[in-house]
Every structure is written in C-alpha cells, then in structure tokens.
C-alpha cells in the first residue's frame, strides 16, 4: 500500500444502506492533491468489483455521484463505483482556466507533454495507475471496469482499449470517439501534446482500433440522437465504420430524442451497470 | 384557463422515455415570474395524478429534479411531479439576500405580511392556488398530493393539513415540524409575519394539529437520525407527541445513520412515491 496514495475521507453520506463518499489524496502521477467521489454498497465488504466513472467537460468528482442515480442501481451488488475529478486543480498554466474545453475540468485523460501542463496533467497515468492502485490496495477490489460520458466516454474507451488487462469491461455514454478529427479534440491534443500527430493517435479511439488495439469483449455505447454535439464533436458514425472494419464488437445504441445531459445518462445507466458487472465476473 | 398562469417551457430533456422540463410563468399570487421543473412519464397523457415537491432552504426548482432520482420511480406510472422554486426572485427587499435562511430561497411557504415581503412573498397562495391551477388546467391532472424536504417538508405538512380538499396525500422528509419553536422558524416568521403569534400558528404543523387541523389519512415522514438539524431545528419529537395527542395518524420513520442531504431523500423516495399515489387513487 503506497502511503502517497492513501486517501483522506472528506465527507460521507449514508445512501441506500451503503456509503456515498468524497475523498482526496496526493497523486503520484499528477503531483497534486486529487479528489474523487464514490459509492460502496452495504454488502460490499470489501467490494469485489469497481466501476471507474470518468466525467465530461466542466465536471468535477461530484456530478455523477449526485445526478446519475447509480447508488440505487448498485445497492444490492458487491460492486462499488469511483468517480475521479476531470483534471488536476490549483495550478495556473497559460490558458488553463479560460475556456470550458481546455485546461481545468478538461484534461481529456492524456499524459500532457507541453510546457506547464506536462508537470501535472498526467491524467492517463492518474487513472490507469493511481486510481487503479487505490482500488486494489485500499478498497481491495478484485476487478475493475470503466465507463464515462462525453470527454469521459472518450477516456473510458482509450483506457479500455489500451489497458484490457486492467479494465475487464468498458462502456460509454455519448463518447468523443475520434478526437483527432473534431474541434474539441484538436484543441485539447494540440494544447496538451503539441503538434506531433503520432502522439495524438495514442489517445484516439478510432485510431487505436485501426492500429489493432481492439478488445475481445463487446463495448456498450449509448448515444442520444438529439445530442447537440453528435455531428460536430462526437462523430459516433466514425466509430461505427471503424468497429465494423476492425471487427471490434460493439453494441452502439442510438437513442431517439435523448440529448447530452445527465437526464440521458440516468435513463440508461440501468443497462450499463449490469453489463459492466457481467464483464468483471466473466 | 387563466392566461396569466399559462407557463412557458424553458428546457426539456427526454428522460426514462418521459420528459423532464423546466418552465416559467407569471404568478398571480406573487406578481412575479416564477419557475418550476417537473417530470411527465411517457404514458401519462395527460397525467392522472401530480405530486407537488417543495424544496428546502437555498434550493431552487432544480435540486430535486436533478438529484432525487424521481424520474426512475415515476417512469411507469400515470403520475407527474412538479417542483416549484422556493421563493420569488428578482426583488431587493431589506435583508432578502443576506442569509441562507431568510428571503430568497427561504420563503417558508407563508403569505408574508411585512413591508416589502408582502408584495411578492405570497408563497402559501402560490402553491395552493397558482400551482394547483396550473396542474388542473394546464396539465389536466385529477388528483394532487404534496411532499417536500426540510423547509419544504414543513410546507408540505402545513399545506396538507390546511388544504385536505386539494392535497389527497401528504408526506415529508426531515420536515421542520414546529417552526414557532425553532431558530429557523422564529427568524422567518418574525421577518415575514411580524410579531403576532396567532398568525405564526397558522403556519406551524404542531400548532395546526393542536387546533384540530388533523387529516383523516396517515402522513408518512422519514427522518435521518444523523441529521445535524434534528435536535435544534426540526424538533421531530414534538410532532410525535402532538400526533399521538391529537390522533393524527403518522408513519414517522427514524432512519439510522442518514443525514439531511439529497442522498437521504433518494434512498427513501421509492417508499414515498407509491404512498402518495395510493392516497391519490383512493
């Protein structure tokens, strides 16, 4: 157990007989304090499984655990959920706090290479190392899966494709599937990774699949058809094509009338949680 | 149908096949624009029943509909929910925006008599007249029930006790049951009603019961035992005594380990919704 990764409990709320909690710890990967929230069902002592939830642009560790209704869906399982913050906090890099789609609250879950950001925006490592270590060593879980929304859906997919030995199952809501080809992704990757496009492809779901980083198991994705970002940012149809070409098994469900909000996530989370748990118990 | 009470849809999000919405209207009772949120299940065309949810101190029309998970519980029913804001907005009365427990976000659901506040803080009438009229005329519901949390639990109880012909069933989470005897209530009632204590009693659950304003049906209340406000503000044990003395049927459930938060509300809402619906279908 790494003492640096020991977490400090900030708040705890009894929920559905289990515990909703907020915590912080000193991250090795980011070199900063990082916060996360989570829920542990009553009978999970310790939890057998964990779902890591990655949130989208502008979110913190709080959005999902407050809005998605996950506690009700997990209450009778032995699976916990852990929701990390979406970026390091407390720094003052150039442009870090000026826009909603770059810098604080917008890490895109990459390991940054650019001046300033490289010092703490190591979010790929933060999720795949620090958070995984906490789940295994502190919460003593056996299996881990990953899911997320929008930028966090992108994070769940790239981490799931690159780290299949860590993440036993993967799903996403409204993910950014081809960030090297959309305005959000281009801005973020240029800002965090610089101009070298080979680096960008390591953090792009469609490009990872094209380069053979497929998973053996099926990925579940829900996407609202009234999502205002579908055509210009999410580019979901690119993934449809690439998955078909590369043989990646995909359950991509277009949901009529649903938008990009947490009202959409909460509506279909009841399908994702059993899907993720089934993959962990496989 | 009063044209003044017609509402304007501000936002709509498909949720659990139904609709989560935000709206505003020009209130006759407050003389101001007022906002509310709500959820209408897919099969409720029109909804047969409506639950009015009153929120607590500092809340707006948004807290409950975002955090409580009601959509999941209502999705297969013919019952809608409507969540009004907790006070008029946009005015600048003395002291209106200086504290969390008085003025904006803290109406206590009374009809104010004091200078300034009397012009728009007519929240008892707003709920029992404007909101009821909208539900009947615009949403075309047949039956209405009422519930709420903390200050809103107080609102639900006083409206339920005084207007049994309107509200067919009543429940509450963590309600302020004896506001004439607690710091929150004394501050609010003095500020909105002035010094005359006979007026105060018209907005106090324990005092209404003592004065014979009991309901024939049972009231359901959930109260967390780790609620930081239990001893000094909520005074739940006063209601236990008064209900017993007056014969008011009460299912008062003390929940071990639960606090005053929405994590508590969401944990037990699954019991309140069927209870309220049963009372409306009776």
Q: Cβ distance B50 to B80 under 8 Å?
A: yes
Active-site position among A150, A169, A171, A174: A150
Q: Cβ distance A249 to A282 under 8 Å?
A: no
Which CATH number goes with the domain that contains B231? 3.40.50.1820
A145 classed as catalytic: no
Distances (CA, A) of A13 to A18, A39, A40: 8, 9, 11
Condensed to tens digits (0 to 9), the pLDDT of residues B147-182 reads: 999 999 999 999 999 999 999 999 999 999 999 999
Condensed to tens digits (0 to 9), the pLDDT of residues A194-241 reads: 998 899 999 999 999 999 999 999 999 999 999 999 999 999 999 999
ipTM of predicted complex = 0.93
Q: DSSP string covering B105-174, please?
A: TB-TT-B--STTGGGT-BHHHIIIIIIHHIIIIIS--SEEEEEEBTHHHHHHHHHHHH-TTTEEEEEEES
Mean pLDDT for the stretch of residues B263-268: 98
Mean pLDDT for the stretch of residues A139-151: 98
Give the range of the structural domain holding residue A233, as residue numbers without chain letter: 3-281
Model confidence at B2, pLDDT cuts 50, 70, 90, reads very low
Stretch 248-277 of chain A: residues touching chain B, C-beta under 8 Å: 257-259, 261-264, 266-267, 270
Stretch 102-141 of chain A: residues touching chain B, C-beta under 8 Å: none
Model confidence at A151, pLDDT cuts 50, 70, 90, reads very high
Length of chain A, in residues: 282
Dist CA B65 CA B9 (whole Å): 15
B108: alpha, beta or left, given left = phi > 0 and alpha = psi -120 to 50? left
Condensed to tens digits (0 to 9), the pLDDT of residues A21-33 reads: 999 999 999 999 9
Q: For chain A, how big is the Rg over CA atoms in Å?
A: 17
> How many domains, in total, are found in chain B?
1
Name the β-bridge partners of A82.
Answer: A38, A52
Burial class (CB in 10 A: 0-12, 13-18, 19+), A82: buried
- Respond yes or no on whether the N-terminal peptide bond of residue A46 is cis (omega within 30° of 0): yes
CB atoms within 10 A of CB B3: 6
Q: Could you give the percent of chain B with pLDDT greater than 70?
A: 98
* pTM reported for the whole predicted model: 0.95
Burial class (CB in 10 A: 0-12, 13-18, 19+), A150: buried
B125 classed as catalytic: no
Condensed to tens digits (0 to 9), the pLDDT of residues A114-123 reads: 999 999 999 9
Model confidence at A1, pLDDT cuts 50, 70, 90, reads very low
pLDDT at A282: 82
Residues 6+ away with beta carbon under 8 Å from B169: B145, B146, B160, B217, B275, B276, B277, B278, B279, B280, B282
Mutation site for A-interface testing, chosen from B10, B12, B13 by largest number of A Cβ within 10 Å: B13
Task: Enumerate the residues of chain B whose CB falls inside 8 A of the CB of residue A21.
Answer: none
Dist CA A162 CA A222 (whole Å): 21
Half-sphere exposure of A143 (CA within 13 A, CB side): 15
A71 with B267: Cβ contact below 8 A: yes
Burial string for B175-195 (b: 16+ CB within 10 Å, else e) reads: bbbbbebbebbebbbebbbee
Which among A14, A17, A267 is the nearest to B15, CB-wise?
A267
Condensed to tens digits (0 to 9), the pLDDT of residues B210-261 reads: 999 999 999 999 999 999 999 999 999 999 999 999 999 999 999 999 999 9
A259 with B14: Cβ contact below 8 A: yes
Distance from CA of B39 to the nearest CA of A (A): 11
Name the β-bridge partners of A11.
Answer: A22
Model confidence at A142, pLDDT cuts 50, 70, 90, reads very high
Sign, CA torsion B118/B120/B123/B126: positive
A14 with B262: Cβ contact below 8 A: no
Mean pLDDT for the stretch of residues B7-12: 97
Task: Enumerate the residues of chain A whose CB falls inside 8 A of the CB of residue B17.
Answer: 267
A251 classed as catalytic: no
Structure-block tokens of residue B53: 């949810």
Q: Considering chain A, what is the average pLDDT of its residues?
A: 96
Which among B16, B226, B257 is the nearest to A267, CB-wise?
B16
Checking if the pLDDT of B3 tops 80, the result is no
Q: Cβ distance A244 to A209 under 8 Å?
A: no
Distance from CA of A246 to the nearest CA of B (A): 33
């Amino acid at each position: 157990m790494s003492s640096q990764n020991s977490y400090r409990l900030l708040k705890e709320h009894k929920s559905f007989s289990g515990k909703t909690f907020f915590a912080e710890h000193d991250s090795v990967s980011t070199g900063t304090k990082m916060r996360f929230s989570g829920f542990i069902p009553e009978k999970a002592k310790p939890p057998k499984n964990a779902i890591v939830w990655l949130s989208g642009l502008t979110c913190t560790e709080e959005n999902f655990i407050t809005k998605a209704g996950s506690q009700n869906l997990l209450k009778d399982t032995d699976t916990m959920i852990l929701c990390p913050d979406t970026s390091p906090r407390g720094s003052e890099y150039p442009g870090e706090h000026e826009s909603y789609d770059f810098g604080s609250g917008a890490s895109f879950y990459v390991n940054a290479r650019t001046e300033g950001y490289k010092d703490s925006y190591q979010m790929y490592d933060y999720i795949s190392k620090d958070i995984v270590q906490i789940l295994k060593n502190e919460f003593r879980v056996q299996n881990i899966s990953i899911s997320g929304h929008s930028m966090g859906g992108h994070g769940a997919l790239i981490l799931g494709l690159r780290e299949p030995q860590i993440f036993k199952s993967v799903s996403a809501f409204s993910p950014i599937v081809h960030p090297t080809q959309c305005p959000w992704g281009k801005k973020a990757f240029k800002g965090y990774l610089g101009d070298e496009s080979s680096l960008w492809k390591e953090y792009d779901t469609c490009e990872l699949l094209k380069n053979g980083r497929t998973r053996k198991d099926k990925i579940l994705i829900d996407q609202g058809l009234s999502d205002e970002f579908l055509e210009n940012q999410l580019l979901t149809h690119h993934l449809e094509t690439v998955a078909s070409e590369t043989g990646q098994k995909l359950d991509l469900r277009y949901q009529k009338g649903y938008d990009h909000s947490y009202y959409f996530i909460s509506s279909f989370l009841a399908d994702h949680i059993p899907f993720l748990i089934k993959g962990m118990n496989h």
